[in-house]
Structure 1
Amino acid sequence: MRPTEAPPQQSTDPQEPVAITFEELDLGMEPDSVYQPWMMTQRVESLAGRRVRITGFMSGALLQLNNVKEFPLMREQECPFGVGGQAHHVIMVELTGKLRTSYKTGPVTVEGIFSIKPFTGPNGKTWALYHLAGERVE
């Protein structure tokens, strides 16, 4: 673990989401690599289990346009998901309860509970590093 980052600022309201950016989640992983626990930073680890708010882009690889329950949230629209991608540029969003959304081509802001949950693709490489139990989508 790399101890170089400051912990997230504490909110006085535990229900208030912590605003984060993909830059804060960057671990410097190379494309098509396999995540190892030593790569994690204290900053990112301190976010696990916290309610966060982050803006990114829905992956264009979705198979449906409406009533979407799960989707990869990408750092940038051009970021590849899967082969050629960087796992720390992807958050797998799973909307909670009956919450659903539609595919959007522009920026999407999601709030929910953040976790570190590596997702391994069929090529054995880490395709996504983070998970968000989404409670709100804008």
Structure 2
Amino acid sequence: PPSEQTASVTAKSDAAPQNTSEKTPADTTLPVVAQRPDPKLRAMTKEEVAQEKSASEPREVKILVKDRSFRRTSPENALLVNYDDIDLLKVMNMEPVTPEAPDLMPEWLKNLDGKRIRIRGFMYPPFQQTGNEYFMLARDNQICCFGKNPKIYDLFPVIMREGVTADYILNRPFDVVGVFHINAESFDGELERIYTIDDAIIIDK
């Protein structure tokens, strides 16, 4: 059964008000020699141009992990999976992820669809501390706590088993056991999600 251990989050409201009269490093009233260099105001190096171009161009999709097997584990005889197994850049060189991704996946990954898996991750801060019927599972705490921009396969919804809820687990990893689904869902033309876990329980040890 899910852990009843709950972590609390305390909002800090004692931040000092900003002094709008202070000059910031970007203040153009400062002498040029005293201003912080703005990278947007200088010419990009050849390396930076190449990196930006590479990041904006879709990669050629090719299967990098041709075969993968998973061992069974408790509870519920689940398949033990980790985030590297479902990382589409590592598995099939896909960047960005497109709605056609499920059709292009290797067979071993497609075969995880509908299977009960066990995977370890972090809980993205939910709307409430206790009684959550669903939450977002994140690959690492950089996504949860430091605003790292996640890939679509690094953050996905977990729907708890009927009658079971989850308390917020703050900044530490835990395991989820549930049925894994692969389904590309789009909203307003944007790919919203590609993975979901339902009928889930939490193993927090």
1:125-136 alignment to 2 at 5 Å?
A: 125-136=190-201
Per the alignment, residue 46 of structure 1 pairs with 111
Q: Does 1:64 align with 2:125?
A: no
Task: Confirm or deny that 1:76 pairs with 2:140.
Answer: yes
Identity of aligned residues (%): 21
- Residue number among 56, 73, 79 corresponding to 1:18 in the alignment: 79
Q: What letter is aligned with 2:191? A: T
Q: How does 1:85-100 map to 2 (within 5 A)?
A: 85-100=150-165
Post-superposition Cα deviations, 1:7-51, rounded to whole Å, max 9, x if no partner, equal: 4336499x40111000000001546x5432344232321111111
Is the CA contact 2:120–2:174 (under 8 Å) kept in the aligned structure 1? yes
Which of residues 169, 174, 187 in structure 2 aligns to 1:108?
Answer: 174
Could you say which structure has the higher helix fraction?
2
Residues 78-128 of structure 1 show CA distances to partners (whole Å, capped at 9, x for unaligned) of: 237xxx431111231001110101111111210011110234355x43243
Is 1:120 the counterpart of 2:186? The answer is yes
Larger RCO, structures 1/2 (Cα 8 Å, 6+ apart): 1
Paired with 1:95 and 1:12, the residues of 2 have a C-alpha distance of: 19
Distance 1:6 1:85 in 2: 26
CA separation in 2, counterparts of 1:12 and 1:68? Answer: 26
Which amino acid counterpart does residue 24 of structure 1 have in structure 2? D
How many residue pairs end up in the alignment?
A: 132
- Aligned equivalent of 1:27: 88
TM-score by length of 2: 0.55
Q: In proportion to residue count, which structure has more strand? A: 1
Structure 2 unpaired stretches of 5+: 1-61
Which of the pair has more CA radius of gyration? 2
What CA distance in whole angstroms lies between the structure 2 residues aligned with 1:79 and 1:4? 25
The whole-number CA distance in structure 1 between the counterparts of 2:120 and 2:163 is 21
Q: 2:109 is aligned with what amino acid?
A: V
> Does the aligned pair in 1 maintain the 2:185–2:193 contact within 8 Å?
yes
* TM-score, structure 1 as length reference: 0.78
5+ long unaligned stretches in structure 1:
none
